[in-house]
Amino acid sequence: MPPPPPPPPPPPQEPVVFDASVLQHQANLPSQFIWPEHEKPCLEPPELAIPPIDFRKLHLWRSVGGLEACSATEAHECMNKFFGKQLAEKPAQRKIGEQYGYASSFTGRFSSKLPWKETLSFRYCADNQSSNIVQEYFLNVMGEEFEEFGKVYQEYCEAMNTLSLGIMELLGVFVDEKWHSVTPDPEAFVVNIGDTFMALSNGIFKSCLHRAVVNSATVRKSLAFFLCPKMDKVVKPPNTLVDYKNPRVYPDFTWSALSEFTQKHYRADMKTLDVFTTWLQQRNNWEGTKNTSPC
C-alpha cells in the first residue's frame, strides 16, 4: 500500500501592513512585532556615560556654527509632518532591495521580530556635481508638496557633512554582552562606529549594536546621518595597521557589496561583518571557478 499523501502546505501568511495610525488602536499587537523575552528591553537598564565633546574648544567653531545655522528643529518639524500622514499619502515607497525612500518596518523582507518603526532614507553626496541632490530628490521623487522639506534636509546634510569630517575618528562606543541606556541630549549627537569603520581599522574599533527603545505614550524620533564611502570604493585598512602580529581581519570589499548583502541577503546584527566575510569569500571562489577554463 502506498504511503498516504503528505498534508497540504499551510496557506501562505498574509504579509502584515505596517500603518502605525491603524495598528496603534488595535487591542492586540500583531505576532510579527513580538520579540523573544531575552531580547526585550529591561525596565531599568544600566546607563552608559558618554562624554560630550565641545568642538568649539577643539578649534572647530565653523563646524559647530554650520550645524547651528541648519536648524535641527526645522528638520524635526518636517519629520513630524511626513510621518503624521496616512500610509497612502506617504510617497517614495521603497521596494525590496532599494536603499532610498519610505519604508515601514521590515514588512516584505521578514516575518518575525519586526521593529515598530518607519524610515525615510535619502542620499547625500558632497561632490560639486551633486550639490543639490537632496533637494532634487524631494522635489522630483516626492513631489512639489515636499519642496520645502528638501531645502531643510539639504542644509542639514551639508552641516552634518562638515561636522563629520571633524568627529568621525574621535568617539566610539562599544559595550560587550550588555545593553545600556544613553540619556538623550537634544543639544548633542551620539557618534556610533559601524561595520565599515571596524573593517577600516582592522578590527581595532568595534561596531556597536544599537536600538531605539520606544514606549506606548510618546513617539520616538531619530535623525540619523550615515557616513559611507562611495559605492565602488575599496574598503581596506591602511598598511600601518597590518603586520605579522596584527594580520588582516577582513578581506577587501566595496560599499556596494556590503550594501547588497544587508539589503538582499542578511538581516544586520552583531555578526554581520563575519557572515559577510564568509559570503564574500564564497562568492569570489564561485566566480573564480566559473571563470576557470578546463585545460
Burial class (CB in 10 A: 0-12, 13-18, 19+), 19: middle
For residue 130, pLDDT beyond 80: no
Average pLDDT, the chain: 76
More confident position, 247 or 29: 247
**Secondary structure string (H, E, C) spanning 214-250:** CCCCCCCCCCCCCCCCCCCCEECCCHHHCCCCCCCCC
For residue 169, pLDDT beyond 70: no
User: Residue 39 corresponds to which amino acid?
Assistant: E
Binned at pLDDT 50, 70 and 90, residue 54 comes out as: low
Q: What is the grid cell recorded at 232?
A: 565602488
Share of the chain above pLDDT 70, in %: 73
For the chain, the structural domain boundaries read 56-167, 171-281
Q: How many C-beta atoms lie closer than 10 Å to residue 198's C-beta?
A: 22
pLDDT of residue 166: 42
Highest mean pLDDT among 59-73, 148-162, 164-178, 201-215: 148-162
Residues marked active site are found at: 220
On whether the CB atoms of residues 236 and 258 are closer than 8 A, the answer is no
Q: Which residues pair with 139 in a beta bridge?
A: none
Binned at pLDDT 50, 70 and 90, residue 59 comes out as: very low
Element (H, E) at 157: helix 147-167
For residue 167, pLDDT beyond 50: no
Alpha helices in 98-141 (DSSP H): 133-137
Whole-number CA gyration radius for the chain: 22
Binned at pLDDT 50, 70 and 90, residue 53 comes out as: low
